[in-house]
């Protein structure tokens, strides 16, 4: 891959994706709602709100040489499904609809540039939920199966779709959450190496692997730890 666009590139995993890509000699469009917050020498800042159709279309027109799209932008409102419906909608608008809008806009760009690849940053929470994560977990579950469907729909143009799943990375989003956290620089190196190797899914840590494996088991055992708390 020679040219990438990274959403949410001003902080967290997105910033680390942009830094690692630049270190690998990739041309990087670093996208954020406020492009002035991009402080990455060598990157090309792009103003982008992925929930704004006009902004998404403008980004696709601007970055016509992209062969790697990294859909990193995401939010977590902490809204339960029976809570504030606006919070539920906000999680879905960014984590599902906004991500899908980016793929729809950039699919022709990727096709014109030889196929390329799409990376969708999902979560271990694509495969389970715990109290306080309802709308986020649902949005990331939708994100995961979106990747599965897009992988089939984009196969004809030679576009690889890779879904990324991890527990906690040491970023702003996980600042108030207890538990072991992975160095985000390590995460992005693994992901980019996996994309180059043609991997379709990155399960980044033991927790995510355990959660995915539990899907084949009786859910009562898995959810007992939350229901008895």
Q: How many domains does the chain have?
A: 1
Report pLDDT for 80: 96
Coil vs helix vs strand at 72: coil
The residue from 29, 136, 181, 212 that is catalytic is: 136
pLDDT value at position 225?
78
223 tagged catalytic: no
- Domain holding 182, by residue range, is 3-227
Q: Which pLDDT value is given to residue 176?
A: 56
Residue 3, beta-bridge partner list: 27
pLDDT value of position 125? 95
Note the pLDDT of residue 167.
Answer: 86
Among candidate residues 159, 141, 140, the one with its CA nearest the CA of residue 150: 159
User: How high is the pLDDT of residue 130?
Assistant: 86
Strands 160-165 and 44-47: unpaired
pLDDT for the residue numbered 184 = 87
Count of residues in the chain = 229
| List of the chain residues with pLDDT < 70 | 168-181, 228-229
- For the domain that residue 28 is a member of, what is the CATH number? 3.40.50.720
Q: Which two tokens stand for residue 136?
A: 């986020």
| Active-site annotation holder among 140, 181, 212, 223 | 140
The Cα 139–Cα 178 span in angstroms is 22
According to the model, what pLDDT value does residue 223 have?
Answer: 87
pLDDT score of 1? 81
Residue 212 annotated in active site = no
């Amino acid at each position: 891959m020679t040219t990438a666009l990274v959403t949410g590139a001003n902080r967290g995993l997105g910033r680390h994706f942009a830094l690692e890509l630049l270190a690998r000699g990739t041309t990087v469009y670093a996208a954020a709602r406020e492009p002035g917050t991009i402080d990455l020498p060598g990157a090309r800042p792009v103003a982008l709100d992925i929930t704004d159709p006009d902004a998404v279309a403008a980004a696709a027109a601007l970055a016509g040489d992209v062969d790697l799209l990294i859909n990193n932008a995401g939010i977590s409102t902490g809204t339960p499904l029976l809570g504030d419906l606006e919070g539920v909608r906000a999680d879905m608008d960014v984590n599902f609809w906004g991500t899908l809008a980016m793929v729809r806009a950039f699919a022709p760009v990727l096709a014109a540039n030889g196929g390329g690849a799409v990376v969708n940053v999902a979560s271990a929470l694509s495969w389970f939920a715990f109290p306080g994560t309802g709308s986020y977990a649902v949005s990331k579950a939708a994100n995961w199966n979106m990747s599965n469907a897009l992988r089939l729909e984009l196969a004809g143009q030679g576009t690889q779709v890779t879904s990324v799943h991890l527990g906690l990375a040491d970023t702003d989003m996980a600042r108030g959450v207890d538990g072991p956290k992975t160095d985000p620089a390590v995460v992005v190196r693994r992901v980019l190496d996996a994309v180059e190797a043609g991997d379709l899914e990155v399960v980044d840590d033991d927790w995510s692997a355990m959660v995915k494996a539990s899907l084949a088991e009786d859910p009562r055992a898995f959810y007992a730890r939350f229901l008895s708390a």
